[in-house]
A and B are shown apart, each in its own frame.
Chain A
Amino acid sequence: MPPVLSKPTEQPMETTVNTTAEGRPDFISIRDFSFFYGKKQALFDISLDIPERQVTAFIGPSGCGKSTLLRNLNRMNDLIDGIRHSGDIVVNGRSIYDPHIEVISLRKRVGMVFQKSNPFPKSIYENVVYPLRVSGQNKKSVLDETVERSLQGAALWDEVKDRLHESGLSLSGGQMQRLCIARAIANRPEILLMDEPCSALDPIATVKVEELIRELKQEFTIVIVTHNMQQATRCSDRTAFFYLGKLVEFDETPKIFSNPAQKQTEDYITGRFG
């Protein structure tokens, strides 16, 4: 088991934060959020409160908008021409669309892991420290500490500590994905977004990443998009089901998968869609 990482030292500006029924603060508050790719509306009035240091899974059929919403949480969709939104997304009490927030600083607070592992053609060491170097940090002691902390956090340290200067591309698929997770947490983000992080992995590598997700939630607020419902049940505390750009149901994961309130959710998770 990787050690628990220390808390981020930089605390963003605090404002009023709602709490869930279990008393956990709502870390991410999505309010009446709609999103458009040009004329096509991809998300419709989504309102969702994601609690701090829990794993929240987004599920739903292809094209339901779950990845679109995920990519809005760090404003990755800003890179696409013709997009627009209405409503708001508030992280830790502050809107991510606040004109005083720089997108770059937002993305430092919100790490992301993609479906296909995408290590840079650099050494394992350089992959992990890449976000720090981009921010201008080149002090060796800081970089060394970050590499060890991040690789331990990603449950990869023991496997690569003796070959840190070998290419990241020399690792197995599962190791590469965990390297990307190490890179994503190197900058001590508050939130970790994962877009189908295990879909290209074999079952053993998948189990390792899933165990890692459960471990990482002690330190990060995690949002994961997955098509694998068994994975959602194993990894997540809460699950949101989306259909045709709308949030159909959001509840605790055991409730969603044993007794969903909405018929659409029931039909989807029991394989009766279509």
Chain B
Amino acid sequence: METPRHILTNFETALENLRKDVLMMASLAARSIDSARKGLFERDEDWCNTVIADDEEVDTLEIQIDKAGMDIMLRYHPFASDLRNVIAAMKTSVNLERAADQAVGIARRARKLILQPALPEIARIEPLFDTATNLFKDAIKAFSDGDIELARTLKLRDKGLDEQNRSFAETLADLMQKNPDSIRGYLELIFIARCLERIGDQAKSIAEDTIYAVEVKDIRHTSIPN
């Protein structure tokens, strides 16, 4: 059944604008993750610099969303799904900002790696990029569409990313012993893998907040259902 519009059109507009700002922030954060990946694999410093420069815009949006959310609560005293949506928007913006920060972390490490000879082991981190990027994009889709079924998959998939990260770190630790001259580069890659693992955490948190906003079920800190 379609949800009727608010009697108060300003309230409706304020909620729509808040949602648009979150989606704008999400697309910027996703773009930063993609740009950081390009910077790393194409060994292109410009992509890395773009990520670092774009972070300011993400930070500004986070502040704007907080202010707009506070303003809605102050002016319109939202209840029920409206209240949950405002809170979810504000919490999601925090996770988006953190995900964008992880992209900045990747870009900074990529800039350092570019200055060193190319590491053939860099290909081993591509599956982590794939998983983290897919998790993040699906979290945004779940938030945007209120897709609970999609949101529910993220917790388990994030566990998969954690495992990928752990396995990658072990592999790199072995390689460090075999190729001590490349330790610095391997450490940068381990750090990048950790950033990707954190992006997965943020995607999972966005999914949890989406489930709460739509279904009023708090699944944080719960075990994954079979």
Contacts and interface: CB of A to CB of B under 8 A. Distances in A.
Nearest to B76: A271
Given A258-B216, A263-B1, A271 B80 contact: no
A273 B80 CA distance: 14
B101 to A, nearest CB: 31
Interface of A: 229-230, 233, 257-260, 263, 265-267, 269-274
Contacts of B3: 267, 272
Given A258-B80, A263-B1, A272-B7, 18 more contacts: A229-B77, A229-B79, A257-B79, A258-B79, A258-B83, A258-B84, A259-B84, A266-B80, A266-B81, A269-B80, A270-B80, A270-B81, A271-B7, A271-B76, A272-B4, A272-B6, A273-B7, A274-B7
Contact of B5 (A258, A266, A269, A272): A272
Nearest to B8: A271
B6 A270 contact: yes
Given A230-B77, A263-B1, A271 B83 contact: no
B146 interface: no
Interface string B76-118: 1111111110000000000000000000000000000000000
Q: Give the most central of B6, B76, B79, B216: most A CB within 10 Å.
A: B79
B191 interface: no
A273 to B, nearest CB: 7
Shortest 4 CB-CB contacts between residues of A and residues of B: A259-B216, A269-B79, A272-B4, A270-B82
A18 to B, nearest CB: 28
A267 B4 contact: yes
Contacts of B78: 270
Given A258-B216, A263-B1, A271 B11 contact: yes
Nearest to A270: B82
Contacts of A270: 6, 78-82
Contacts of B216: 258-259
A271 B1 contact: no
A237 to B, nearest CB: 17
A142 to B, nearest CB: 45
Contacts of B1: 263
Contacts of A265: 80
A271 B84 contact: no
A253 to B, nearest CB: 11
A257 B81 CA distance: 9
Contacts of A233: 79
A266 B214 CA distance: 13
16 contacts: A229-B77, A258-B80, A258-B216, A259-B84, A260-B80, A267-B4, A270-B79, A270-B80, A270-B81, A270-B82, A271-B8, A272-B4, A272-B6, A272-B7, A273-B4, A274-B7
Contacts of B79: 229, 233, 257-258, 269-270
Among A230, A270, A274, which residue has the most Cβ atoms of chain B within 10 A? A270
Nearest to B216: A259
A249 to B, nearest CB: 11
Contacts of B7: 271-274
Q: Of A263, A265, A267, which is in contact with the most chain B CB atoms at under 10 Å from its CB?
A: A267
Contacts of B5: 272
Contacts of A272: 3-7
A270 B4 CA distance: 10
Contacts of B83: 257-258
Interface string B40-52: 0000000000000
Nearest to B83: A258
A229 B79 CA distance: 9
A231 to B, nearest CB: 11
Contacts of A259: 80, 84, 216
Q: Which of B4, B8, B11, B216 has the most chain A CB within a 10 Å cutoff?
A: B4
A233 B82 CA distance: 16
Contacts of A267: 3-4
B113 to A, nearest CB: 48
A272 B79 CA distance: 11
Contacts of B84: 258-259
Nearest to B217: A259
A124 B77 CA distance: 38
B8 to A, nearest CB: 6
Contacts of B76: 271
B80 A257 contact: yes
A20 B6 CA distance: 35
